A and B are shown apart, each in its own frame.
Chain A
């Protein structure tokens, strides 16, 4: 097994609605916001952790695979797949996103592990684009907004349990980057690339961060490049369910 290439997928990740990825709240401030977003320790600017991106894309692909369960998929789920179409999808997910060290079955097939190999994807934390930060700060605005929500008592029609939630506002632009390893066992890497791009399209169709069912975290990728090649048009044409539907029909 040998490394053939390391591809860089880059894009602008633009928010189409407010994004909330929560922080560890080390202190409680009087009059402070209840739920703060995660920020860079030095600059204080919000960012999107690579772990949030990776986890969400993986979980969406797991839902698409037909093998979804409560836990992230592992090697044993590949061995238990109900049919070949599902097994192909599970194997792509494990190849791209990796197999946990604690996930290995007692009598795992060494050959299977050898065929899957190491995790191909390395997500990067996504920082706000400096020109967007400059524009917002130039207009004396803040990099986050605070949204107040409450629950309405169905009978009385009055507000209860008001809470404040900090979000990165719609329109914010982040630098998205992803490293993709291509090994000699991956062939031309087209299958893995197609699965990865389908996962990112699913992210556009779903949401990132908290409160997605309430409209938070809608995102759009623009200016997507695979190395030096502009692949935005290809990406926009992807129907992430076409592959799976065709496999089910076969």
Chain B
């Protein structure tokens, strides 16, 4: 089954109520495909999803030209003999959340020296909303009380990049691009019908491949990931956990049971170490979660969650070389 990586550029057209995370985007992709191709079409695409055969694996939407700083301890970013890093400098370095993508083949210890401040990417804005009492035309108490909601606002002209690993035999690129465009015009995430989560696609989807540094034994995840322990050297994997309290969208909101079971995943930018490294880094890693055998939703047992994440190879010093 040929899995090919493509890079797509999105231009935000509004604020977002939900961050553009890879697994959430995959959920929207499933709905968009379900509406375009019917339920039978989606069921066919999901065949084998929980057995390591995804039809699509999506990354988080990343600021154009940038990748997230790998989640690594300072000790793992030093060569043997390097002087100890000043704690203040170490904390300052952690704020440099984004690294230039075109330098991803550099040795890790050099790459993290050219980071960019996380404040560049997005700002939080608080909006006050309310429901107007239809008969008095005023706000009030209970459901009519003003409420404040957070939104994420990108700078005008900002561009985001999504890396998509596709099985183009099952989901041709034009169908994928159409589904992504549908998500953009209808809105992504919370409050999409009231203005949030709009984006447009810029340019064409471009085939993409990551440079493989010589001797790369590690990989960086670009979306939340449910790892496969048998493939990994746990002693040299570095990550933060994230719990997903998922919620159904579209029609399933009306089932009366919109909430899914919580899932424990690795946060994006985890560093994985392969137990048996090969010359070629896989395009993605992880597991397809849910499905009828291990349901994550009481409302829709066939629900799946993207536990796969696109990965790129990393050149990290071996443990014995690290300080």
Contact call A104/B254, Cβ cutoff below 8 A: yes
Which of chain A's residues have a CB closer than 8 A to the CB of B38?
Answer: 2
Which of chain B's residues have a CB closer than 8 A to the CB of A26?
Answer: 126
Contact call A123/B193, Cβ cutoff below 8 A: yes
A residues 43-99 in Cβ contact with B at 8 Å: 43, 49-51, 53-55, 59, 62-63, 68-72, 97-99
Cβ-closest chain B residue relative to A60: B134
- Pick from A112-120, A138-146, A150-158 the stretch touching chain B: A112-120
Which of chain A's residues have a CB closer than 8 A to the CB of B250?
Answer: 118
| Chain B interface, DSSP helix/strand/loop, else mixed | mixed
Chain B interface extent, by class: 35 or more
Interface presence of B14 (CB below 8 A): yes
With A101-B253, A104-B254 as given contacts, are A55 and B195 in contact (CB-CB < 8 Å)?
A: no
Which of chain A's residues have a CB closer than 8 A to the CB of B133?
Answer: 70
Contact with A along B133-158 (1 / 0, CB 8 A): 11110000001000010000111100
Cβ-closest chain A residue relative to B192: A122
Q: Which of A6, A117, A123, A179 contacts B251 (CB 8 A)?
A: A117
Cβ-closest chain A residue relative to B248: A101
Q: What is the CB-to-nearest-CB distance from B193 to chain A, in angstroms, rounded to a whole number? A: 5
Interface presence of B27 (CB below 8 A): no
With A41-B125, A42-B123 as given contacts, are A59 and B132 in contact (CB-CB < 8 Å)?
A: yes
- Cα distance, A179 to B198, chains bound together (Å): 10
Contact call A122/B193, Cβ cutoff below 8 A: yes
- Cα distance, A43 to B125, chains bound together (Å): 12
Contact call A70/B135, Cβ cutoff below 8 A: yes
Contact call A55/B132, Cβ cutoff below 8 A: yes
- Cα distance, A98 to B128, chains bound together (Å): 21
B residues 82-130 in Cβ contact with A at 8 Å: 123-129
- Cα distance, A108 to B14, chains bound together (Å): 35
Contact call A2/B254, Cβ cutoff below 8 A: no
- Cα distance, A117 to B250, chains bound together (Å): 8
Which of chain B's residues have a CB closer than 8 A to the CB of A98?
Answer: 193
Cβ-closest chain B residue relative to A71: B143
Q: Which of A24, A54, A69 contacts B193 (CB 8 A)?
A: A54
Interface presence of A220 (CB below 8 A): no
Cβ-closest chain A residue relative to B181: A6
Q: Which of B156, B186, B194, B253 contacts A181 (CB 8 A)?
A: B186
Q: What is the CB-to-nearest-CB distance from A38 to chain B, in angstroms, rounded to a whole number? A: 7
- Cα distance, A1 to B31, chains bound together (Å): 12
With A22-B128, A125-B14, A181-B186 as given contacts, are A3 and B194 in contact (CB-CB < 8 Å)?
A: no
Among A38, A49, A63, find the residue whose CB has the most chain B CB atoms closer than 10 A: A49
Interface presence of A121 (CB below 8 A): yes
Interface presence of A124 (CB below 8 A): yes
Cβ-closest chain B residue relative to A26: B126
Interface presence of B36 (CB below 8 A): yes
Interface presence of A136 (CB below 8 A): no
Contact call B186/A104, Cβ cutoff below 8 A: no
Contact call B153/A124, Cβ cutoff below 8 A: no
Interface presence of A129 (CB below 8 A): no
Interface presence of A147 (CB below 8 A): no
- Cα distance, A2 to B186, chains bound together (Å): 15
Question: Which residue numbers of A lie inside 8 Å of B, CB to CB?
Answer: 1-3, 6, 8, 22-24, 26, 38, 40-43, 49-51, 53-55, 59, 62-63, 68-72, 97-99, 101, 104, 108, 113, 117-119, 121-125, 179, 181, 183
Question: Which residue numbers of B lie inside 8 Å of A, CB to CB?
Answer: 13-15, 35-38, 123-129, 131-136, 143, 148, 153-156, 182, 185-187, 191-196, 198, 250-251, 253-254, 256, 258
The 7 closest A-B pairs by CB, nearest first: A50-B195, A51-B194, A3-B35, A41-B153, A41-B125, A101-B253, A125-B195
